Amino acid sequence: MGSQWGKDSAYLRAMKEGYRSRAAFKLKDLQDRYRIIRDDDNVVDLGAAPGSWLQVERGLTNGKVLGIDLNPIPPLEGVETMVADMCDPELPEKVKGMLGIVNVVVSDASPKLSGHKSYDQARAVELGEIALEFACKVLKPGGNFVVKSFQGQDFTGLLDRVKDHFLSVKAYRSRSSRKGSAEVYIVAKYFVGAGNET
């Protein structure tokens, strides 16, 4: 993942510290700021390949960690993985069957970038909406949710939909994001349920 942006300092640091991509530092940054994952949480990571967020999550909790991606994720000790599409309507029940209680859902999934800013942003928001729908089906009350999106005209709509389901919702640009990147994370805490889903 990191190599497509060249071997900059974040990429080199990730390799030195044993992470699979520079994205690990984004989750570390989010965790330091918002305490998303507690030490006994069960965590579901959507769009988890190649697995750098899973590496960080495994170090944050003694609970279960499950990574889901369309592509196989190379094995990690203490982490379960699944090749699946997060649009699959049967996926939430499968996940609950594997983990029981789900305390945290995170998604660092990103669309394949076309270079057309408005199209890429719309696809990122669509992925965010799919991740939100999944989270609303599996999270226990009081659970937390983090999803990556891109800033643009559709972003506030996604942010508002997340606010329908969580008591605390913030938009945060990670210090580890590349300069000039439009990516932004929605950090949602204290799930109140899916009752406002239209």
What pLDDT was estimated at residue 133? 98
Whether the CA torsion 35, 49, 147, 177 is positive or negative: it is positive
> Checking DSSP bridges between strand 183-191 and strand 166-172, what pairing results, if any?
antiparallel
Q: Residue 4 pLDDT more than 60? A: no
160 part of a folded domain: yes
The region, left, alpha or beta by phi > 0 then psi within -120 to 50, assigned to residue 121 is alpha
11 part of a folded domain: no
186 part of a folded domain: yes
Say if CB 25 and CB 14 are below 8 A apart.
Answer: yes
163 part of a folded domain: yes
16 part of a folded domain: no
d(CA 60, CA 40): 9
Highest mean pLDDT: which of 8-17, 34-43, 176-185?
34-43
123 part of a folded domain: yes
Range of the domain at 164: 23-191
Omega within 30 of 0 (cis) for the link into 50: yes
Whole-model pTM: value is 0.90
pLDDT-based confidence at 196, cuts 50/70/90? very low
The CATH code of the domain that includes 121 is 3.40.50.150
90 part of a folded domain: yes
What pLDDT was estimated at residue 189? 98
Q: Residue 30 pLDDT more than 70? A: yes
Look at the chain and report how many structural domains it folds into.
Answer: 1
| Catalytic center residues | 148
What pLDDT was estimated at residue 193? 83
Task: Output 118 or 75, whichever has higher pLDDT.
Answer: 75
- pLDDT digit string (tens) for 150-164? 988 899 999 999 999
- pLDDT digit string (tens) for 88-118? 999 999 999 999 999 999 999 988 878 888 8
Alpha helices by DSSP H, listed for 139-193, are 155-163
4 part of a folded domain: no
